[in-house]
Structure 1
Amino acid sequence: MSNAIETRLAELGVTLPDAAAPAANYVPFVQVGNLLHISGQVSMDASGLVKGKLGDNMDVEAGAAAAKLCAIGLLAQVKAACGGDFTKLKRAVKLTGFVNSTLDFGDQPKVVNGASDFLVEVLGDAGRHARSAVSAASLPFGVAVEIEGIFEIE
């Protein structure tokens, strides 16, 4: 699957960043059996953190773009955990998305779709996953979205 994933990312014009180092006392991923648990990846691009609060100063489209950035970070962590070898990745299992949003904002699922849609676009059916999308009153550093994931690997 490695070449297929790398090829698909290139077709989409996506270059994976280096896997982000932990910002506190935790590890970026833990493997238990054939499940790889990836710590929460915050919305971040080459310019830095993508901050905002959905329902206040950020709309759903911008939030979905921030969620896609989190999914890119998740794939970077998967690649690092697999020693750079995407052939070990079998499928996405579960995402939990946290959306920095106002009390009356109710479109968290539409925001997290940015990550879900991206994983399916890159991985095909292996990108389909179980998911939760929840509101958060605030997130670390004021980021718009944070997403953690579970992936099956060989």
Structure 2
Amino acid sequence: MSTIETKLAELGVTLPDAPAPAANYVPFVQSGNLVHVSGQISNGPEGLIKGRLGDTMSVEDGAKAAKTCAIALLAQLKAACGGDIDRLVRVVKLNAFVASAPDFHDQPKVVNGASDFLVEALGDIGRHARSAVGVAALPLGVAVEIDAVFEIA
């Protein structure tokens, strides 16, 4: 087991198989040492995590949904690295989209669910730049979608 996967196991996380794309796009693109991973939607053991923050979901529930996106991002990264996730040099950037009621303004607190998890799991290489954007709706009614850029060796 890789060093990163050992740390994930200590946190009670096992990377799932990388989800297949749902339309006419690829799950990731490598350009040089950068891997751009397509948006991963909030999806847990019981299925899609749906809702709208400030309406049908709390910030805490949104943060848990964002964490599931981060786990899926790492699963895609592992696939991009041919199964060797220890090639990860650092998380560069997250672009996060949060389904939000018009008067909801805590998108950064929701996205902290992904950011905090990546730092806990990866240490300093998990620290990243990010955007946290509120949107009216996301595909399939999910609460959160996040894409990412990773640097690999």
TM-score normalised to the size of structure 2?
Answer: 0.98
Tell whether 2:114 aligns with 1:115: yes
Residue 49 (structure 2) pairs with residue 45 (structure 1): no
Q: CA deviation at 1:45?
A: 1.2
Partner in structure 1 of residue 128 of structure 2: 129
Letter matched to residue 146 of structure 1: E
Deviation at 1:34, TM superposition (A): 0.4
> Counterparts of 1:75 and 1:68 in 2: how far apart (Å)?
11
Match of 1:4 in 2: 3
Instruction: Name the residue aligned to 2:28.
Output: 29
Is 2:5–2:14's contact at 8 Å kept on the other side of the alignment?
A: no
Deviations 1:39-60 (A, max 9, x none): 0000001221000100001000
Structure 2: where are the runs of 5+ without partners?
none
Map 1:78-97 → 2, pairs under 5 A: 78-97=77-96
Name the SS for the 2:98 alignment partner. strand
Q: Which letter does structure 2 place at the counterpart of 1:56?
A: D
**2:63 aligned with 1:64:** yes
- Cα distance in 2 for partners of 1:87, 1:49 equals 28
Cα distance in structure 1, aligned partners of 2:94 and 2:18: 18
CA deviation map 1:2-29 (0-9, x unaligned): 7321111110010111100000000000
- Kindly provide the CA deviation profile for residues 79-126 of structure 1, in whole angstroms up to 9, marking residues without a partner as x: 010011012111100000000001100000000000000000111000
Please identify runs of 4+ aligned residues in structure 1 that moved more than 2 A: none
Aligned to 1:25, what secondary structure does the other structure show?
coil
Q: Tell me how large the CA RMSD over aligned residues is.
A: 0.8
Summarize the alignment of residues 142-153 of structure 1 with structure 2, pairs less than 5 Å apart: 142-153=141-152
